[in-house]
Amino acid sequence: MSQKRERPSPDAADLGLRSDCGSCFGLCCVALPFAASADFATDKDAGQPCSNLQADFRCGIHAQLRQRGFSGCTVFDCFGAGQKVSQVTFSGQDWREAPRTARQMFDVFAVMRQLHELLWYLTEALTLPQARPVHDGLRRAREKTERLTGGSAQELTELDVAAHRGDVNALLLRTSKLVRAKVAGRKKDRRGADLIGANLRGANLQGANLRGAYLIAADLKGADLRVADLIGADLRDADLSGADLTGSIFLTQPQLNAARGDTATKLPQALTRPTHW
């Protein structure tokens, strides 16, 4: 069944939850490590600038990342954490100009990315009418999370982000149950399930709990994923051709970018069809 969703609140954009690489010091291209694999053409240690990072902090092969063996870069999203750390926490001073701050900046980026991801989920949860019983709690959690993102570099590195995630997750779990309760019948609970390469073509997963499920390379062609909870689900190389993800909750753009699909795939309103589909 289709779920009517309220429009995103006006302040969602004000929270800066969409990446603005032009306002960032290439933090994801430096702070994060990667290993030579199907996703990355080379190895790179954490704190080491990617060989493709230019002096202006732009990617030298941005338009050819997939063709050059860096598809992993195309599925990463910092939810706006990069520009927040660059322009707010460190007031526009980059790690090249002040190398002594580089390590701290990279550590702060890792924390900020988690906080911004939580803000994304909380903002989405507040658009869901079925979650009204917990809207007050969600609103307080979002306000607290936003305050935390404005802390100093030292405050952010000392933050117990795992504990904060746990508090927010309790609210998101409640939100998920309230929303999925509107789906008639018994819903599948595949939370954290190993569904790597599973044949789920045409499966009825409406209202299912797929939180943290491993759906790598799963065949989900034509599957009904309406109102399914997909928070943290690993959709790398999953085939979503013709699948219906209408009203699915806590699905993010990076998850879609990591999957495969086609023009027949139905997506939530807030997300866009990846260009490589």
Percent of the chain's residues with pLDDT above 90? 86
Which domain range does residue 215 map to?
188-271
Distant-in-sequence, close-in-space partners of 33: CB < 8 Å, separation ≥ 6:
44, 45, 46, 48
| Encoded tokens for 154 | 């030292």
Residue 221 and residue 100 in one domain: no
Mean pLDDT of 204-221: 97
Alpha-carbon gap, residue 154 to 59, rounded angstroms: 29
What's the total number of domains in the chain? Answer: 2
Q: Which of 128, 151, 180 is the last residue of a domain?
A: 180
Contact, 262 vs 277, CB < 8 A?
yes
Residue 206 and residue 139 in one domain: no
Residue 26 and residue 152 in one domain: yes
Residue 199 and residue 247 in one domain: yes
Residue 151 and residue 198 in one domain: no
Alpha-carbon gap, residue 4 to 197, rounded angstroms: 32
Residue 125 and residue 142 in one domain: yes
Residue 158 and residue 214 in one domain: no
- Note the Cα 266 to chain centre separation in Å: 19
Residue 249, SS3? strand
Residue 70 is assigned to a structural domain of this protein = no
CATH number at residue 227: 2.160.20.80
- Give pLDDT, residue 16: 85
Examine the pLDDT at 25 and tell me if it is beyond 80.
yes
DSSP bridge pairs for 44: 34
| Encoded tokens for 215 | 């759906």
| Encoded tokens for 29 | 């291209």
Residue 163 and residue 211 in one domain: no
Helical axes 102-125 vs 135-149, angle rounded to 10°: 160
Mean pLDDT of 102-123: 97
Q: Which of 180, 209, 227 is the last residue of a domain?
A: 180
Would you list the DSSP string of 116-160? Answer: HHHHHHHHHHTT-GGGGGGHHHHHHHHHHHHHHHTS-HHHHHH--
Examine the pLDDT at 10 and tell me if it is beyond 90.
no
- Give pLDDT, residue 269: 87
Residue 47 is assigned to a structural domain of this protein = no
Examine the pLDDT at 84 and tell me if it is beyond 50.
yes
Residue 20 and residue 157 in one domain: yes
Percent of the chain's residues with pLDDT above 70? 95
What does the pLDDT look like over 253-269, one tens digit per residue? 999 999 999 999 999 98
Burial of 52 (0-12, 13-18, 19+ CB in 10 A): buried
Which amino acid, residue 241?
S
DSSP conformation class of 161 = H
Residue 89 and residue 176 in one domain: yes
Examine the pLDDT at 15 and tell me if it is beyond 90.
no
Residue 54 is assigned to a structural domain of this protein = no
For all residues of the chain together, what is the average pLDDT? 92
Residue 263 and residue 161 in one domain: no
What does the pLDDT look like over 130-171, one tens digit per residue? 999 999 999 999 999 999 999 999 999 999 999 999 999 999
Residue 115 and residue 230 in one domain: no
Q: Which of 161, 180, 199 is the last residue of a domain?
A: 180
